[in-house]
């Protein structure tokens, strides 16, 4: 039974069948593998985001987590859901930009120095001015990546930004759930 669940995950994500950690879960009779399958399904079939948005968010998180297997899956799936090459590129770029911002602003937040706060960041962020994905969705992905990276200052800033753009809590929560579930799946794909 657990072998079937593992095979369902492997098939759904287009993975090869050779995965030591998923095999460990099966061999150890871990019921978590069932949870993993359900969590993945629930995270990607959300009510407050389109399937394309959910998969582009997953792509940004997979890029952020440096997970080539999940990057491949989310890129292909996003293309199947009619994401343009520009939208895919922007989700990828968003993960990179936010990684830089998260480190920079997390440092400022941790240190709490007025001197550091007064020095210009000098990190180019032109992509944020007119995102291909639209301002609201770009900010939503930025929020998800910032949450995955643990930058409190960035999470608060992007959450406020998407709320100011009219985004409700359920849509925000869906994006955060995607980030957390994609990260949890990534931990098992070595």
> Is 151 annotated as catalytic?
yes
Q: Is 85 exposed, middle or buried (0-12, 13-18, 19+ CB in 10 A)?
A: exposed
Cβ contacts of 165 within 8 Å, gap of 6 or more: 135, 136, 139
H-state helical runs in 20-151: 20-27, 32-44, 51-64, 68-80, 85-111, 114-118, 135-149
Out of 154, 172, 176, 182, pick the active-site residue.
Answer: 154
Out of 25, 151, 162, 172, pick the active-site residue.
Answer: 151
Residue with tokens 């911002």: 101
127 neighbors 90 (Cβ within 8 angstroms): yes
The residue count of the chain comes to 190
> Is 94 annotated as catalytic?
no
Q: What angle do CA 170, 6, 75 make, to 5 degrees?
A: 55
Which sequence positions are flagged as catalytic? 151, 154
């Amino acid at each position: 039974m657990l072998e079937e669940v593992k095979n369902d995950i492997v098939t759904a994500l287009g993975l090869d069948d050779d995965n030591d950690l998923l095999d460990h879960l099966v061999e150890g009779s871990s019921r978590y593998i069932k949870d993993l399958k359900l969590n993945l399904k629930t995270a990607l079939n959300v009510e407050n985001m389109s399937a394309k948005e959910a998969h582009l968010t997953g792509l940004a998180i997979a890029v952020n987590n440096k997970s080539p297997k999940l990057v491949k899956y989310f890129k292909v799936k996003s293309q199947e859901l009619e994401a343009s090459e520009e939208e895919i590129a922007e989700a990828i770029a968003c993960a990179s930009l936010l990684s830089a911002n998260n480190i920079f602003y997390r440092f400022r937040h941790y240190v709490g120095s007025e001197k550091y706060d007064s020095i210009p960041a000098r990190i180019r962020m032109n992509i944020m001015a007119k995102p291909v994905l639209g301002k609201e969705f770009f900010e939503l992905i930025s929020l998800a990546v910032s949450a995955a990276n643990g930058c409190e200052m960035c999470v608060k800033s992007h959450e406020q930004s998407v709320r100011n753009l009219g985004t409700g809590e359920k849509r925000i929560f869906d994006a955060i759930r995607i980030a957390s579930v994609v990260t949890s799946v990534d931990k098992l794909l070595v």
